[in-house]
Structure 1
């Protein structure tokens, strides 16, 4: 079996682990890492050691593409840089896997889609939540018609004070880099909705505010390591206590000035930390969505309301009490007609990131002859629709107006596609 020769572009946490060390450890018979691209040479060297590779390190993407000529590039750089890298790889005749979100702006979406069409190459977007066992089971239930036609969805995501705060320490805290968490984080959630409902978002309205981080903080410092408020700050991050982060970021910060422990109360942070969104879909499903970034719990609540019943789940990912390593899906029927009025469906958690979703996604992409019965593999259209939903939500929160996706990108919203499966 011929291996796919891939280049890893970007060696942050996700690149070094998910698409570096873990990919080689579990899929070595299918892939071979032939190059690493990282502008920070020290971070690149340290990541290469963590990955366990001897691949050459490049600071320049074009030089790598010309010299190495990989079959595939995996893009793990900050969100706003994805488009240029993806387009350059496609134009070099190379397939691409990009971390989510696919990109951050409408013009960048256009450039990626146009390049994919022009070159005939393929872009995969890393929507690993689609592959989580519980998500897959919910999709099966919806597709089977167990609750009839879905009329509305309640979807609420909670980030705890460890995970949520981390976005405000890093480059994600600026709209120009991440598109805000409406794009960076919620792209996962909007994609799940698009996939679950087998439809496209049509109109979006939202409210959002910065209520806890940034200028709302009681004090601030240059960074955690140098902060005079270390002993009174609930969000203090001690990099030295985390050997992985300390090795990958602290000394390399002397080269590029990027500190992994930025102050969560920096006054120039311009993304919201509290968000609510209403979405109307083409198939007339109405969605209520929210994202909160400073809770004592991590996880989500999701409910589908249909003409024949309801599917409901409360998934805990982190919380100050013990829970079983499984999810319970409630299938509640309006008219049981001999069936159980409430069916409790238990889905055990699988090993690996996102309860096994990361492994299943890598299997789908790299192992031959994988069946994609649930249409989990996501391409540029899925990537575009989730980003457009986030862009619309941010715009609505800032203008107070309903935003129609057809006004943002009419050629995609009006392309005749009946659902989000098209072009995957």
Structure 2
């Protein structure tokens, strides 16, 4: 597709092409006016307070919006801003006239706020997934084209140094043309179970973990392979959580089954979650510690997919939500060799506290973990030895990717190696794999990506 340039008021610069999305970037002056809709954990804890702390010289929050007034008030205090708050998004847009709207609401509502923000004159930064189905996805793409506004999708995993090194090796053709990939992602019984406590356990709200969680992983595959998916065949089941258990309650607090439930969690011991959710649940009834065995849970807890790409690569992918440990491993088979990598596999990297692992990973800093490395194994065909490539391990969200992504979005948009900043095409192609997987399970057949979008899959997105 043709390259287009978008420049407005000398404050928005462009990176990328239509093949990977046009990316708005923020110059130093004047300050960009930001508005945030959705003041939950991700909105307040990642797009709220850290942006205030790290980019207050070039950005300013002009409005916060949420349907829960208690959570909204807590978010405002936690972020340390003095902007007005709103329960009505349209009113916030009319009163504050933001340059950029940050969308961190329930996944199934992303499309509404993304579309209306663009129609009302703002660019958008949205949490992944961009949305939860093909119809909503199409609406976003059409509105972006019609309005000339732009959307950034927050694919932070791309920005971790480990992920970038894998990308560099693949881009350099280190093991030749890639022909197939095996990608396994394990969520442990602490972090994995947490998705079933929340609204994420309902397909109508999250699109299932095929979309909410796996779109992260599919985006990495699309980016690493520099190609678009063309077809998906999937299987999945719900066999541990939800209605499968012999007993259940409404929430962990006060549950009669506490003595025998291994998944019991006392949310009140976490000040952050207690203040953000428990103390404000009377406003909207949202239970952050819902029972993982609720009958209403209808997402899958084990998933596998075969994905074929436009460049001929075949991928075997799996996601498990009740593993004793959390981590991932991947192998790229090339015509000249094999590249393997992994993170947090206990028998390869040593034991970690699995219960505290996710909280530690979400700490927002970029510090190197002293003496710790991530590793990539490369071995050439017919070679007698393999090569181990070490990358310093970084603390902080998503392997150090969180803050690096924000730095690129707000301060250094020209630092865009391998088109690392993600736009609507990236958002679409990642979520549509998940949508296709859902459809494949429901209809027991292979689903073509072309059934879901007018975007033409590209064999080479360069």
TM-score range, shorter chain: over 0.9
Specify the alignment match of 2:256 in structure 1.
Answer: 228
Specify the alignment match of 1:265 in structure 2.
Answer: 293
Specify the alignment match of 1:383 in structure 2.
Answer: 427
2:402 & 2:460 partners in 1: Cα distance? 25
1:233 & 1:420 partners in 2: Cα distance? 48
Matched, 1:412 2:459: no
Q: Deviations over 1:30-60 (max 9, x none)?
A: 2111110011011000111111112211001
Contact kept? 2:183, 2:328, Cα under 8 Å = yes
Matched, 1:310 2:353: no
- Which ranges in structure 1 are unaligned for 5 or more consecutive residues? none
- 1:369 Cα deviation (Å)? 5.0
Match of 2:351 among 294, 299, 321: 321
**Cα distance change of structure 1 residues 253 and 369 upon mapping to structure 2, 3 Å threshold:** closer
Contact kept? 1:194, 1:420, Cα under 8 Å = no
Specify the alignment match of 1:252 in structure 2.
Answer: 280
Matched, 1:192 2:235: no
Indicate the SS of the match to 2:64. strand
Q: Deviations over 1:222-250 (max 9, x none)?
A: 11113110111111111111010010011
1:188 & 1:385 partners in 2: Cα distance? 11
Normalised by the length of structure 1, the TM-score is 0.95
Specify the alignment match of 1:358 in structure 2.
Answer: 402
1:130 & 1:102 partners in 2: Cα distance? 16
Q: Deviations over 1:294-326 (max 9, x none)?
A: 111111011100001111012118898149632
Indicate the SS of the match to 2:419. coil
Matched, 1:345 2:375: no
Which range moved further: 135-144 or 211-220?
A: 211-220
Indicate the SS of the match to 1:349. strand
Indicate the SS of the match to 2:311. coil
Contact kept? 2:49, 2:79, Cα under 8 Å = yes
Q: Deviations over 1:142-184 (max 9, x none)?
A: 0001100000001000001111011101111111111110010
1:141 & 1:29 partners in 2: Cα distance? 36
Normalised by the length of structure 2, the TM-score is 0.87
2:408 & 2:228 partners in 1: Cα distance? 24
**Cα distance change of structure 1 residues 317 and 11 upon mapping to structure 2, 3 Å threshold:** farther
- 1:373 Cα deviation (Å)? 2.2
Contact kept? 2:327, 2:345, Cα under 8 Å = yes
1:328 & 1:95 partners in 2: Cα distance? 38
Matched, 1:207 2:235: yes
Specify the alignment match of 2:379 in structure 1.
Answer: 332
Specify the alignment match of 2:202 in structure 1.
Answer: 174
Contact kept? 2:156, 2:402, Cα under 8 Å = yes
Contact kept? 2:157, 2:399, Cα under 8 Å = no
Specify the alignment match of 1:44 in structure 2.
Answer: 72
1:51 & 1:351 partners in 2: Cα distance? 22
- 1:413 Cα deviation (Å)? 3.1
Contact kept? 1:199, 1:418, Cα under 8 Å = yes
- Which ranges in structure 2 are unaligned for 5 or more consecutive residues? 1-28, 354-370
Contact kept? 2:338, 2:380, Cα under 8 Å = yes
